[in-house]
Amino acid sequence: MAVVDHHPRTHSDMKLFRLCPFWQPGSQTSSSSLSARNLQSQSSRNLVGTKPRPKTVSSVARSLLPPRRRLRLDPANNLYFPYEPGKQVKSAIRLKNTSRSHVAFKFQTTAPKSCYMCPPGGILAPGESLIATVFRFVEHPENSQKHLDQKTKVKFKIMSLKVKEDTEYAPELFEEQKDDVVVERILRVVFLDTERPSPALEKLKRQLAEAEAALEARKKPPVDAGPRVVGEGLVIDEWKERREKYLARQQIEAVDSL
C-alpha cells in the first residue's frame, strides 16, 4: 500500500535539502561516523607531533610586562647634535648601570657610514657609568635656509645584555645570546641651533667636555703608587736595600779577617 505524503515538498525545501545533505533521512549515522573519524585523525596527529610546552602563569605575566631596563640614559630619548652643515658634529650620552649585575651594552645605527660611536660597546659594573660620544656628518640642506626641524631617518639603538663579572666584551655576545638582549631605547636625532643658547646645548657642551676629559685620563699611563709588592708581601725596593747592606757587611768582614 502506498503512503501518501500530505505535505508535499516545495522547490525551496528541495533546494535546502540538496545544500544540506546531512539533514536528509538516514544521514545521521554517516555524519556521526564521519565526525568520529575526523576527531580520531586529529587526535592521532596531535600524538605524533610534538606537544607544546604549557605556559606557566609567571611566563605569561613576563611576556605581557615591558622588559626591565638595565641602563639609565641621559638624555633619555634624544641625541642632540649642533647644527653645522658640512661638518662632523658630536653628541654625548651618559649610560649608567642601574642593575645588580654586570651589563654589556652595544650601539647600533641605521647610518653606519656617516655615524659612529665611541665606544661602540662595553661592559659596565653595577653602578658604573660612562659618557659615550656619537659622531655624525651633517649634510648641507637643499636650499640656503636652516632646517633645524628637518625629519631625519637616522636612528640610534642601545641594547643591553646581562653578563658575568669576568666576561670580556665582544659584539658577538649579542648574537649568541639574542634571546636575552633588551632594547633599552631607540634614540632620535635632534639638531640644536648653535647661535641660540639653550639648556640642551649647554648640557651637551658639559657632557662633551666630561667625555673628552675621561678619554684623556684613559690615555695617561697609570700613576706609580709606590713599590710593587710581589710574592709573600716582599717589596722589591726593600729587597734591593737589604741585599746591598748584606753585601756591604760581607765585604767588611772579609777585610777584617785579613
How many CB atoms are closer than 10 A to CB 22?
10
User: What's the confidence (pLDDT) of residue 146?
Assistant: 58
Count of structural domains, the chain: 1
Q: Is the pLDDT of residue 36 over 90?
A: no
Task: Report the pLDDT averaged over residues 7-18.
Answer: 51
- pLDDT given at position 232: 47
Of 127 and 230, the structure prediction assigns the larger pLDDT to 127
How many C-beta atoms surround the C-beta of residue 201 within 10 A?
15
User: For position 159, what pLDDT does the model report?
Assistant: 95
Q: What is the CATH number of the domain that holds 106?
A: 2.60.40.10
Would 8 be classed as within a structural domain?
A: no
pLDDT band for position 225 (50/70/90)? low
Give the mean model confidence (pLDDT) for residues 222-250.
Answer: 60
| pLDDT, average across residues 226-234 | 50
Whole-angstrom Cα distance, residue 18 to residue 23?
Answer: 9
Residue 17 in any domain: the answer is no
pLDDT tens digits for range 176-223? 999 999 999 999 999 999 999 999 999 999 999 998 888 888 777 766
Q: Reply yes or no on whether the pLDDT at 156 is more than 80.
A: yes
- Find all residues with CB under 8 Å of 98, minimum gap 6, and list them: 69, 70, 71, 72, 127
Q: Is residue 88 a part of any domain in this protein?
A: yes
Average pLDDT over residues 159-184: 94
Q: Other CB atoms closer than 10 Å to residue 94's CB: what's the count?
A: 16
CA–CA distance, 85 with 21 (Å, rounded to integer): 77
pLDDT for the residue numbered 28: 46
Burial of 135: CB neighbours in 10 Å, binned 0-12, 13-18, 19+:
middle
Q: Is 4 contained in some domain?
A: no
**76 within a domain of the structure (yes/no):** yes
> ∠ CA(119), CA(125), CA(130), 5° rounding?
35
**Is the per-residue pLDDT at 19 higher than 60?**
no
Q: Classify residue 194: in a domain, yes or no.
A: yes
**Order of strands across the sheet that contains 88-97:** 71-74, 88-97, 129-137, 115-118
Q: What are 89-105's pLDDT values in tens digits?
A: 999 999 999 999 999 99
3-state SS track over the chain: CCCCCCCCCCHHHHHHHHHCHHHCCCCHHHHHHHHHHHHHHHHHHHHHCCCCCCCCHHHHHHHHCCCCCCEEEECCCEEEEECCCCCEEEEEEEEEECCCCEEEEEEEECCCCCEEEECCEEEECCCCEEEEEEEEECCCCCCCCCCCCCCCCCEEEEEEEEECCCCCCCCCHHHHCHHHCEEEEEEEEEEECCCCCCHHHHHHHHHHHHHHHHHHHHHCCCCCCCCCEECCCEEHHHHHHHHHHHHHHHHHHHHHHC
**Residue 33 belongs to a domain:** no
Q: Is residue 225 part of a domain?
A: no
Q: Which residue has the higher pLDDT, 206 or 49?
A: 206
Q: 118 lies in which domain range?
A: 71-141+151-219
**8 pLDDT above the threshold of 90:** no
pLDDT confidence band for 20 (50 / 70 / 90): very low
Asked if 206 and 191 count as a contact pair (C-beta separation under 8 A), the reply is no
Measure the CA angle with vertex 252, ends 249 and 255; round to 5°.
150
**Using CA atoms, how far apart are residues 180 and 191, in angstroms rounded to an integer?**
33
In the prediction, which pLDDT does 68 show?
Answer: 75
